[in-house]
Structure 1
């Protein structure tokens, strides 16, 4: 098996391990769901201006729907894991590399969600409880890595849009991808490709996300949960 396939499968096994931990503890599973829902609200609140933007709104919505929030991807991931060798064989290397980064982001996010949710009082998350849980969990470096991987996914999609041949290849992959059980991945890639293409350059969008997320991360680990006066924490609903 190729190095890319091994890497993607390793990340998917990490995701599966986190799901099994939650399945063994219904209380933890409920808290993780509450945390994910709160983080999606946090993104929607902190990026309301981008979501309203004609140019950047679709890309912000893509991030909100595909990279944040409480959607259950367990069935998709299980199908995905079974066909990784086909993915690596069928798709161009540039797309496989993007999927590898996406899988790494997915795995890290699930690990951090499990760890942070374990320090919540319950599933009803508020701003102070969210900050307290993150500070108790720690992992500031992992939070920064999460931001970096998110930006790498966006940069990869932006780079792919500059290659018309790749977009044509992606369209041609619809039938084979569906037959191989990769229909959901195909949908994600086409949606991301078209969204970033329509933006006509993602540099400013990604710079805004990176700047806000890093400022938010610094504030998250330094704030007093009882006095959330930091401007960056104004992104918390």
Structure 2
């Protein structure tokens, strides 16, 4: 993923997604530094939450999931469908947060105080919990399928046809996710850490904790 991918974002959306990406990078620096979890952490931080314009990939995905089903086993396509569902939810949450920050609150530069205040004012706790749950489900789906040799073979064989069909960005997304989870081995400890931390951060924000993203002790 390159910085040029951010070109399609408005300045406000880039500021928001960049701030959130920096927060996530700090929150999961320990996992990114762990050789076992490094690739999976990068996949989540860059391919799902990075400050990039994913609109082309998502438009392709929404339009041609049926085509991907013809090229890959259903179990290999389900993580893509789950990721697209997660991205739709994330976009709607970011739309609301951007509106709250820059329009209703008049923020010019996001900081911790303004971010958390806008987060609370959006009053969408149920959707935020759903977002955390969707990340967990996506990870567990990937974990189930990556070790199936036939799925791995089908994904490799789909590379050429996918790029010829203009689906290269989607294919690369799937390959990065599969490679990251295959390198990690069983993903349960990794996914449990993400879910646990994000729920704690969410609770802290709603409790008006002045430092909600401080390190969580195991």
| TM-score normalised over the length of structure 1 | 0.80
- 8 Å Cα contact 1:31-1:118 kept in structure 2: no
Q: Which has the higher contact order (CA 8 A, sep 6+)?
A: 1
> RMSD across aligned C-alpha pairs, in angstroms?
1.8
Select which of 211, 214, 218 maps to 1:234.
214
Match of 1:58 in 2: 39
Question: Does residue 199 in structure 1 map to residue 184 in structure 2?
Answer: yes
Post-superposition shift, 1:144? 0.6
Post-superposition shift, 1:58? 1.4
Aligned residues: 204
Post-superposition shift, 1:222? 2.0
Deviations 1:138-191 (A, max 9, x none): 110100111111111111111112211110111111112112221111111111
Post-superposition shift, 1:123? 4.8
What is the CA–CA distance in structure 2 between the aligned matches of 1:148 and 1:189, rounded to whole Å? 20
- Structure 1 segments unaligned to the other structure (5+ residues): 1-22
Bigger shift: residues 90-99 or 168-177: 90-99
- Structure 2 segments unaligned to the other structure (5+ residues): 1-7
Question: Does residue 171 in structure 1 map to residue 152 in structure 2?
Answer: no
| TM-score normalised over the length of structure 2 | 0.87
What is the CA–CA distance in structure 1 between the aligned matches of 2:188 and 2:58, rounded to whole Å? 30
Post-superposition shift, 1:96? 2.2
SS at structure 2 position matched to 1:142: helix
Post-superposition shift, 1:50? 0.7
- 8 Å Cα contact 2:58-2:84 kept in structure 1: no
Question: Does residue 153 in structure 1 map to residue 133 in structure 2?
Answer: no
